[in-house]
Structure 1
Amino acid sequence: MEALLLDILALLKQGEAIDAAKLAALVRTRNENVADVSKHLAKKRLFPFYLRVKTEDPARWLGWGIDPDLEKRLLAVIQMKPRRTASGVATITVITKPWPCGSDCLYCPNDVRMPKSYLSDEPACQRAERNFFDPYLQVSSRLRALREMGHPTDKIELIVLGGTWCDYPEGYRIWFVRELFRALNDPLERAAGEAERIRERYRGWEIPSDAEALARNAEAEQDRVTSRETTYNQAVSRLYGEHAGWRRAALEQTATFAELEAQHELNERADRRVVGLVIETRPESITADRLAHIRRLGCTKVQIGVQSLDEAILRENNRAGDATAVARSFALARAFGFKIHAHMMANLCGATPESDLADYRRLVGDPAFRPDEVKLYPCALVDGTALVERFAEGTWSPYGEDELIELLARCVLATPPYTRISRMIRDISARDIMAGNKKTNLRQLVEAAVARSDKPVDEIRYRELSTADAAPETLELSVFPYETAHADERFLQWTMRSDGAEKIAGFLRLSLPHADFVREHASELPVSVGDAMIREVHVYGKAAQLHDTSTGAQHLGLGRRLVEEACAIARSAGYRRMNVISAVGTRGYYRNLGFSDCGLYQRRNL
């Protein structure tokens, strides 16, 4: 491994550029005369080896003659999956424990080893199960993997998945988030020992984490759910509610807000800071009290399972709620300052490509909705769901591949410049899908269809700067205004031209709430008439360490200039105060911009 690393360093010192093909050739050359395949070198082992030598054998590392500039170029070569942090932060997804669900949708998977709608084969779910669904352990294991791939881990977005958040007991919800923060706050040398101590507790409670053992334990209940002899909720209650170990764990899985807020304070100065916290829920479950609760947890974004705005299709799929509930949930969430991430599902029972396109256009075009992000994915047939019966009788079938790609491409083209389509597939393995799309590169196929249309694309993800460099003198600041039912929105964006296309280097979401809506909901809202709200500030480019510089757009002062422009816009519109829904780890940044802590937000007088 050292010989391969020295090959790379020699070329870099000579000023040569090393792309993926060149690196692969270097690896092949070193493996040519090694007959034992198990001893072959691999790119994925380069960064862990480099990091281990640098931290554990500094004398050996010094012998390689690496200065800061050379190290930066070396890491660009050996880092795995650079797009993981191309958005400027490292994302860690965690899963809550299995729990009864307040809904029973026609298409929803019923894997009794998982929270409702998730499958044990999904990568994040596998990681959660190996770690007893413990938040501390899940974060610790993911941090280790990110470090081994060469990604900075000082700015973290936490995504908490597991069905409807408010279905869980309040004490569990607070404990879960406290443990997420604690895992990030603990120094690395302490975290390893703490993680092992936590594992030993679960083992002492005889809670298994081996996939095969878990599958055997759940097999009988899973068969009964799949055959419709019992419900998912009943099976989960028996498997976990009647298990002595899980009952014992539940007694300790509770915390107070005081304990959580102590971890918040530590995280403001920690080496690994939370710059975003996301939870998921259903529209009909959103109330002002629940939004205040998740805001106090440190939440900055809500994922809302809309699936469809067509009430006939919702009824057909046994999906609770309606378009009115979605509109109310969006209005409240926006007034609270949250980023709104809507889940939409194409090809539901009763839908057609034409109705799906109309539904999507309504979502992104009707002022009652207009989310900031969308997860747009096709329905897939999974065993154990009620949709299996509809498929068997011929009342539901998946769209053909060409039909699906054309639909999704038309949705991309209909997406406005302030909306990002974050995903187009679920992480469901092909072997779990009985019918429907099994291609993991669906998005690439859709983007190819979009390119063939030769039409302009405004959608954010399509325009992201990603891993490209940003030249400050080429950036332009523009403001895109749009209206929602109860607020005037302003999307401020830094853009540049790259390879003939517009790229977005950073943006800010400014909300100017309508005074009549704030007065009407004065008893529910934590804001007052005259308050503007910054709902998100995001700068793209390669993630840079805190207080470090980056070859991307980060740390060029773009965020500060966006904030100042937003304050100027709000002031000229007659607003007297600016709130920002800051994440715990960004509070210090906003204090430096003149904001003061004020309840659920940070505030600056205009």
Structure 2
Amino acid sequence: MLSKQKLVSIEEAIDGILKELPSVNNAVELEKLKLKWGKKFDLQDVIRSSDLLSRINASKEYSPEDKIKFKKLLKTNPVRENSGVSVVAIMAMPAFCPHGTCVYCPGGPGTNSPQSYTGFEPAARRAAQNGFDACKQVRSRLKQFEDTGHTPEKCEVIIMGGTFNSFPRDYQYTFVKSMYEGFNGVKFDDLDQAKLYNETAEHRIIGLTFETRPTCASQQEINDLLEFGCTRLEFGVQVLDDKIYMKAKRGHTLQDVVDATWNAKRAFLKVCYHMMPGLFTTPEQDIGYFKTLFSDERFQPDMIKIYPTLVLPGTGLYDLWKRGLYKPYDAEQASEVISEAMRYIPEYCRVMRVDRDIPTTLIADGVKKSNLRELVLEKMKKKNISSREIRGREVGIAENLKRAAKPGKIELVRREYQASKAKEVFLSFEDVDNDLIIGFCRLRAPSESFRPELTETTSGLRELHVYGRQDKIGGLSTMTQHKSYGKQLMQEAERISKEDWDCDKMSVISGIGVREYYKKIGYYLDGVYMSKDL
């Protein structure tokens, strides 16, 4: 704990830095200034930019223009906003999954962490610190964004850990309402009021994701999640083998994965799979799973998270490892498998994560390097494997790496594929020469549905996303998010629906905080969707 004198010294150093900040023009000058004042007060650690931003945000001395300038200069980790949104992860209280515990799974009641998490991940720490209160977790995360110079106005939320929709319905309802109240800054009597307020709130939820199991995606369960504002489901799939599911005590079958995927997609939800290379498999098996994912129309996930199997103390897998009955991939083996798997991941899929956000000190065996994605990219480069997945071609991330799209070279590209008993069209604006993707939408043709809003002549827009740094809602910008790419994608999706498929309505699975946008371009609230008659 810092002494009183040390705290005073830090505050005086911050005062000195802020007085000279208006004359600073770049990051190099900023670091020199922080070092200068740190040395003056004999501070071993450099003053953090977040401490400076926190003082600036709380002060009335600075004009709005000065605050914008200082935030741009002091912003930390700008890659967080490169995809156009701020991600807010929250966790429900620890509880057992309905089937029991998977062999590799940490956490759960008695550990102060939800199942499948160690309690030391940033989101898990924040959840525990806030007593797993949804509202407090949200407020804490929003403040963290603001203190580091970010503008969390367009927020994508993920409710993580365990199996949320296996909780009692009352708990689910209360937790989700509390989450909305965290973004709204206002409490409400019921969930519908909270959702309505968020449509025009300062911090809008543009997407809501639930982590769940393939056995918890029945028609009724999906209907319930849609009422909460769900736009994406993430399924723990891990492998594509019933024998391994039994050995790992997963409590589901491959057919459950197929059915869950179909139910989600025909409700126009986005689907993400969690895959786990090395779970009682060989490299050849794992590579084969990835090939099957994108060649078999029963699967075709929109996104994947790749988590090589880790041996963690307190799990059944740890006991097998101690007895010499199991050995996970190390970083070299995992990066080799994943680099080969990347050959089969198509343009419409986004690899959202590679490796878990778990401190290496907690890993008994497995990948103990935190830069696994970099290792994968290095191997791909050596083997001349081209990355076709979305994240590797996003214009926002590319801009951060000094690769910019050329406006005159941007084209509309149409790709079609069959997935879960219906045709899918992936429309994207791309700089084909520089292999960059500016924005895209996922359009699904009419298919058998269990939702009353969706008829046999209703197409579905499952996702609309334009990349680039996050811009202020309603503000003017030179970034990609406000160059009308989104509107053009919508118009082409409507044209395909009407002219190619003879649809008379297109429905959008919209985040609550995006409804205002769709209203402005002619859409109306239609149950849980935003729809337009064609």
TM over 0.5: yes
* Aligned match of 1:303: 234
Q: Contact 2:162/2:212 (CA < 8 Å) preserved in 1?
A: yes
Sequence identity of aligned pairs in percent?
30
d(CA) in 2 for partners of 1:36 and 1:165? Answer: 45
Q: Contact 2:330/2:368 (CA < 8 Å) preserved in 1?
A: no
Task: After superposition, give the CA deviation of every residue in 1:366-408 in whole Å (9 maximum; x if it has no partner).
Answer: 1110001101111101111111222123221012332211111
Please say if 1:107 is aligned against 2:104. yes
Please say if 1:352 is aligned against 2:282. yes
Aligned match of 1:559 in 486, 489, 498?
A: 486
Please say if 1:589 is aligned against 2:524. no
Give the CA deviation at 1:9: 3.4
Please say if 1:439 is aligned against 2:369. yes
Indicate the SS of the match to 1:266.
Answer: helix
Give the CA deviation at 1:280: 1.2
Give the CA deviation at 1:465: 1.4
Question: Which residue identity does 1:84 align to in structure 2?
Answer: R
- Counterparts of 1:73-152 in structure 2 under 5 Å? 73-103=69-99, 104-111=101-108, 112=110, 113-152=112-151
Please say if 1:572 is aligned against 2:499. yes
Q: Contact 1:531/1:576 (CA < 8 Å) preserved in 2?
A: yes
Please say if 1:412 is aligned against 2:345. no
d(CA) in 2 for partners of 1:316 and 1:481? Answer: 37
Question: Which residue identity does 1:543 align to in structure 2?
Answer: Q
d(CA) in 2 for partners of 1:385 and 1:27? Answer: 45
d(CA) in 1 for partners of 2:406 and 2:75? Answer: 23
Question: Which residue identity does 1:540 align to in structure 2?
Answer: Y
d(CA) in 1 for partners of 2:382 and 2:19? Answer: 44
291 and 356 in structure 1: CA distance in 2 versus 1, 3 angstrom threshold: same
Indicate the SS of the match to 2:292.
Answer: helix
Q: TM-score, normalised by structure 1?
A: 0.81
Indicate the SS of the match to 1:476.
Answer: strand
Q: Contact 1:472/1:556 (CA < 8 Å) preserved in 2?
A: no
Q: Contact 2:405/2:436 (CA < 8 Å) preserved in 1?
A: no
Indicate the SS of the match to 2:276.
Answer: strand
Indicate the SS of the match to 1:320.
Answer: coil
d(CA) in 1 for partners of 2:482 and 2:82? Answer: 14
Give the CA deviation at 1:470: 5.8
- Counterparts of 1:84-233 in structure 2 under 5 Å? 84-103=80-99, 104-111=101-108, 112=110, 113-186=112-185
Question: Which residue identity does 1:567 align to in structure 2?
Answer: E
Indicate the SS of the match to 1:315.
Answer: helix
| Greater alpha carbon shift after TM alignment, 335-344 vs 501-510 | 501-510
* Aligned match of 2:198: 267
Q: Contact 1:301/1:339 (CA < 8 Å) preserved in 2?
A: yes
Indicate the SS of the match to 1:434.
Answer: coil
d(CA) in 1 for partners of 2:83 and 2:496? Answer: 26
Give the CA deviation at 1:479: 1.2
d(CA) in 2 for partners of 1:481 and 1:135? Answer: 39
Residue segments in structure 2 that go unaligned for 5+ positions in a row: 1-13
Please say if 1:538 is aligned against 2:465. yes
Indicate the SS of the match to 2:190.
Answer: helix
Q: Contact 1:543/1:550 (CA < 8 Å) preserved in 2?
A: no
* Aligned match of 1:475: 410
* Aligned match of 1:45: 51
Indicate the SS of the match to 2:116.
Answer: coil
Question: Which residue identity does 1:77 align to in structure 2?
Answer: L
Q: Contact 1:280/1:302 (CA < 8 Å) preserved in 2?
A: yes
Aligned match of 2:423 in 488, 491, 494?
A: 488
Aligned length, in residue pairs:
512
* Aligned match of 1:31: 38
Residue segments in structure 1 that go unaligned for 5+ positions in a row: 13-17, 188-193, 195-254
Give the CA deviation at 1:2: 5.0
Task: After superposition, give the CA deviation of every residue in 1:23-63 in whole Å (9 maximum; x if it has no partner).
Answer: 4334334434443436x53333232232233xx33xxx25x
6 and 495 in structure 1: CA distance in 2 versus 1, 3 angstrom threshold: farther
* Aligned match of 2:302: 372
Q: Contact 1:336/1:526 (CA < 8 Å) preserved in 2?
A: no
d(CA) in 2 for partners of 1:597 and 1:512? Answer: 20
Q: TM-score, normalised by structure 2?
A: 0.91
Runs of 4+ in 1 over 6 A off after TM superposition: none
d(CA) in 2 for partners of 1:140 and 1:334? Answer: 32
36 and 395 in structure 1: CA distance in 2 versus 1, 3 angstrom threshold: closer
d(CA) in 1 for partners of 2:16 and 2:431? Answer: 41
* Aligned match of 2:328: 398
Question: Which residue identity does 1:83 align to in structure 2?
Answer: V
Give the CA deviation at 1:429: 1.5
| Structure (1/2) with the larger helix percentage | 1
Indicate the SS of the match to 1:506.
Answer: strand
- Counterparts of 1:247-396 in structure 2 under 5 Å? 259-349=190-280, 351-396=281-326
Q: Contact 2:405/2:434 (CA < 8 Å) preserved in 1?
A: no
Aligned match of 1:454 in 361, 372, 384?
A: 384
Question: Which residue identity does 1:299 align to in structure 2?
Answer: C
Question: Which residue identity does 1:583 align to in structure 2?
Answer: G
d(CA) in 1 for partners of 2:166 and 2:313? Answer: 25
Task: After superposition, give the CA deviation of every residue in 1:123-163 in whole Å (9 maximum; x if it has no partner).
Answer: 11111111110001101111111110111121111110121
Indicate the SS of the match to 1:528.
Answer: coil
d(CA) in 1 for partners of 2:91 and 2:299? Answer: 27
d(CA) in 2 for partners of 1:46 and 1:364? Answer: 47
Task: After superposition, give the CA deviation of every residue in 1:55-76 in whole Å (9 maximum; x if it has no partner).
Answer: x33xxx25xxx8x4x7655433
| Greater alpha carbon shift after TM alignment, 445-454 vs 87-96 | 445-454
Give the CA deviation at 1:555: 1.5
